[in-house]
Amino acid sequence: MTKPAEVTDNDWETEVLKNDTPVFVDFWAPWCGPCRMVAPLVDELSAEYDGKVKFVKLNTDDNTETATRYGIRSIPTMMVFKGGEPVGQIIGFRPKSNLKQAIDAAL
């Protein structure tokens, strides 16, 4: 199973905005408890949506430029991008079924 790759401020443009398929981004930081709880769910979803949606993670401590650009002020925040535009956003820990709903609604 391929786990979501880490993206940074530097490769945000190519890995997320210019990606052909929709991209699910998990904004997280190492000190955030709920982020650690979301992580395994995102791993599972990454396998379930393999080929349809690309899954990546962005560490908000190390990549403040991107976090600021999208107004991230609470983590975990998860966003879905399609054609370079944000089309869905989830703030805070949610059960897997809710994450799936949000992804499906954005596709």
Any idea which residues carry the catalytic annotation? 32, 35
Contact 80, 30 (CB under 8 A): no
Applying CB under 8 A, what is the total number of residues that bind another protein? 23
Within 15-54, the residues that bind another protein by CB under 8 A are 29, 31-34, 36-37
Query: What's the min distance (Å) between Cβ of 44 and another protein?
Result: 11
80 token code pair: 């879905």
Out of 73, 83, 105, 107, the residue judged to bind another protein by CB under 8 A:
73
In whole angstroms, what is the distance from residue 73 CA to residue 96 CA? 22
Q: How far are the Cα atoms of 24, 34, 64, 65, 106 from residue 31, in angstroms, in the given order?
A: 21, 9, 15, 19, 29
Contact 75, 67 (CB under 8 A): no
Out of 10, 14, 21, 74, the residue judged to bind another protein by CB under 8 A:
74
Q: Is 86 in the site for another protein (CB under 8 A)?
A: no
Q: Is 93 in the site for another protein (CB under 8 A)?
A: yes
Q: How far are the Cα atoms of 7, 13, 21 from residue 38, in angstroms, in the given order?
A: 17, 24, 22
Q: Is 71 in the site for another protein (CB under 8 A)?
A: yes
- Residues engaged in binding another protein (CB under 8 A): 29, 31-34, 36-37, 60-61, 67, 71-75, 77, 91-97
